[in-house]
Every structure is written in structure tokens, then in C-alpha cells.
Amino acid sequence: MSQKILIAGATGYVGGTIIARLLARPDAALQKVHLDLLVRTQDAADKLLATYGDRVTPILWAGLHDTSSIETIASTYDLVITVASGFIAPGAQAIVRGLVAHKESHPRSVPWMLHISGCTNLADRPITGVAEPGRVWTDEKSREVYDWCVAREAESRYPQRTTEIGVLSLADELGIHAVSLNTPVIFGEGEGLFNRQGLIIPTLLRYVLANGYGFKLNDTANFDWVRVADLADAYILLVKIILESEDRGVGTIPSGKEGILFPAVGRVLQTEIFDRCLDVCFDQGVLPREGTPAAKEVRLKTLREVADEATAGMLDLAEQGWAGNKAMTGTVLRKLGWELKHGVEAWERDFVDEFVALKEGRRAVTFESCIGTSKGSSY
């Protein structure tokens, strides 16, 4: 019998890569998977069907704000992957409620939601609030991470964090299982049919090309990183465990308030990312040019400037992203069997790959699309 999985975010960088990689897997359990894919345009539906044929069924939806439809749709599944914008709490919680409805009509079912969120949730606020230098989160102590997030939310809400803790707490409260991959910088060419580019490196590289220098808010901001293919494989691993285990992974995959996992591979300072962007631009001979600094420079800026120039005007995201300490150590996924294929060499090579992609006009990412304030993609 085929196993139906619902995916929100099928046109995204992460979602598209999960779909492509999952459908290519030879594992018996995964070969039986049929993917129902939520999309906002008929064009996207047509392209998915034309490419993946009878392994997929596109479903047109209005998006994550249409909570009543989402709940109805999700109520016919016991496994949902939510890798659409991680910033829209009502929509993500409606999926939890849909899974609860599924459980009510199928009492023996063990519904799971595999969610995505991001490392800016975990950042300190060295400019407007409390700095926590040297702190490193570990997913072995996921409950501590969750509790800190709840405390931070009480002081000031941040939509991606509101969504993550909202999903995990509601899942616990209503008796279904949910795990959130709290994801660092994602890099590398995606493998889906639509958006194939990451956010951070293309954004920073574009900034360097436009201005001739990088920016910083301090010298301590950091990022962990993971290649998009490895991140997709982490989701596929969780799917496989759920499908192959007699207990549907309940005894092995942490869930709810214990279920914040870190698919993190390496760590750098933000200034190092800019150094690499500058290196590639100078090496390729496009910098310096008239009006730009003759030497490589990462310039100190104000929070307002960085929010406006590189973060869609959002001050909280700008501080958490470009100033915050958000170091994370992930070991739980590795213990579950996550096999990483891309390390430091792939990370370093990516800057040249991104430069070439930008030069060839293959890059158009915006913060608006990633955080979910765009109206839907037209590919």
C-alpha cells in the first residue's frame, strides 16, 4: 500500500530538494511513498506533474493564512512535512490541528509533522538586549532550547520562533508528534523544479558586488551551515524511520518540546562569510572597481542600515541574523543515522559556484519569499 505524505513548500529551495531526492531513493519504504504537494499556482502544479508523474499529486491551496482549508486538508494525512515559510504560526498550527482530526478519525494512527525553522530564533540580542557570547546550543538538550525560546517570546515575539514553539507545544498538548529542524545557513544548488538558491550567501555576495565591501554589526556574529542536499536527507531519514519502525519512530525521534533538532555541520563568523565573498570578487577581477574600496573591507554599519539594505527592513531579523550568537551543535540526527556528504570543501567551493550563478543570472532570491510575505511564485 502506498504511503501518502503531504508537503507544504513544494516550490521552495528546501521543499523542492526534498521532493527530488526522496523520489530518487531506491529504498523499498520510500519507493511506496506518494507525495501530495501544496502549491499556489496552476503552473507549478503542471510542472510538478509533468516531471514526477504519478508519484505526486499537486493540490492547489491559498496558502498558510487560509487556516480552515489547511486543517481540512491536513486531516487526511498522518505524515506532513512543512518546509514552506517558517514564519506563519496560524498556518503551521492549523496543520497540527488537521493531524489531530486525523487521529480522532483513525485512533490507531500515529501522526507526525516534520517542521522547518531557523537559527535566528536562537540568537542573543547584543545590540538592543542581552548579549550571550560563547553560548552554544546543543540539541541533546532540546528542552532547554525550547524553554529559552518561550522565555524570549514572552519579552518580544519573533514570527519564526512563535511558529516553532507554537507547533511543538500544540503537538504535545493535543497528542500528536512533531519535530522541528532548526536550520542554520543553507547553501548549495537546490535540486527542485522552482527556487534552487539559498538565501544568505547569494544575499551577501550580491551586497558585496553592489557595494564593493561587506557589512558587519560586530565581530562576533556567527552562523552554522549545512548543504541543502544534506538537509533534505535529514528529512528523508526521519520519513524512513517513521515508515519503517513498528512504533513509527516514537521511541527514537524526539518530539514536541523535546523535538528541536539542529542539522548543523560547520560554523563560521559572519565576517568570514564576507571575507570569502570579497575573495571571490577580487579573484574574479570584478572588484575593486571605480568608486569601491581598493582593499577588501567589511564595514561597520548601524542596525537600521543593515535592516534596510539587506533584511527587508526587519530590525529583529537583522539583529538576530547579522549580530547574534546562534551557535548550535547538532548530534541527535547523526545518532539517528544522518550521513553527511558535504563538509568544509563544499562550503568553500560554494562561494565560487554562487558567483558563477549570479553572473549567469540564475539568482533572484528575496527575504520576502523566504519569510512568506510574497504573494506566490510565478516560475
Ligand X SMILES: NC(=O)c1ccc[n+]([C@@H]2O[C@H](COP(=O)([O-])OP(=O)(O)OC[C@H]3O[C@@H](n4cnc5c(N)ncnc54)[C@H](OP(=O)(O)O)[C@@H]3O)[C@@H](O)[C@H]2O)c1
By the criterion CB under 6 A, which residues form the site for ligand X?
9-15, 40, 63-65, 83-88, 116-118, 160, 183, 185-186, 195, 198-200, 369-372, 374, 376-377
Stated as kind and residue range, the H or E segment containing 67 is: helix 67-74
Contact 10, 183 (CB under 8 A): no
Supply the minimum distance, in Å, between the C-beta of residue 332 and ligand X.
17
Of 190, 269, 176, which Cα lies nearest the Cα of 228? 190
Nearer to ligand X, 10 or 268 (CB): 10
Distance CA 263, CA 341 (A): 13
Amino acid in position 26: P
Nearer to ligand X, 95 or 186 (CB): 186
Amino acid in position 374: S
Supply the minimum distance, in Å, between the C-beta of residue 297 and ligand X.
25
Supply the minimum distance, in Å, between the C-beta of residue 16 and ligand X.
8
Please, which residues have CB within 8 angstroms of residue 365's CB and are 6 or more apart in sequence?
Answer: 195, 197, 198, 199, 202, 203
Supply the minimum distance, in Å, between the C-beta of residue 363 and ligand X.
12
Please, which residues have CB within 8 angstroms of residue 371's CB and are 6 or more apart in sequence?
Answer: 85, 87, 159, 160, 312, 314, 317
Amino acid in position 319: E
Supply the minimum distance, in Å, between the C-beta of residue 192 and ligand X.
8
Nearer to ligand X, 223 or 355 (CB): 223
Bridge pairing between strands 112-118 and 79-82? parallel
Supply the minimum distance, in Å, between the C-beta of residue 246 and ligand X.
31
Residue with cell 538537509: 231
Nearer to ligand X, 243 or 346 (CB): 346
Q: Secondary structure of the chain: what % helix, strand, coil (to 5)?
A: 45, 15, 35
Could you check whether the bond before residue 133 is cis, i.e. omega within 30 degrees of 0?
Answer: no
Supply the minimum distance, in Å, between the C-beta of residue 109 and ligand X.
25
Of 374, 378, 365, which Cα lies nearest the Cα of 14? 365
**Alpha carbon separation from 25 to 32, 56, 372 (Å, rounded):** 10, 15, 30
Nearer to ligand X, 158 or 248 (CB): 158
Supply the minimum distance, in Å, between the C-beta of residue 180 and ligand X.
10
Nearer to ligand X, 138 or 377 (CB): 377
Count other Cβ atoms within 10 Å, centred on residue 327: 22
For helices 200-211 and 303-310, what crossing angle results, to 10°? 100
Nearer to ligand X, 209 or 226 (CB): 226
Supply the minimum distance, in Å, between the C-beta of residue 159 and ligand X.
9
Residue 130, classified by CB atoms within 10 Å of its CB into exposed (0-12), middle (13-18) or buried (19+), is exposed
Nearer to ligand X, 160 or 248 (CB): 160
Nearer to ligand X, 212 or 263 (CB): 263
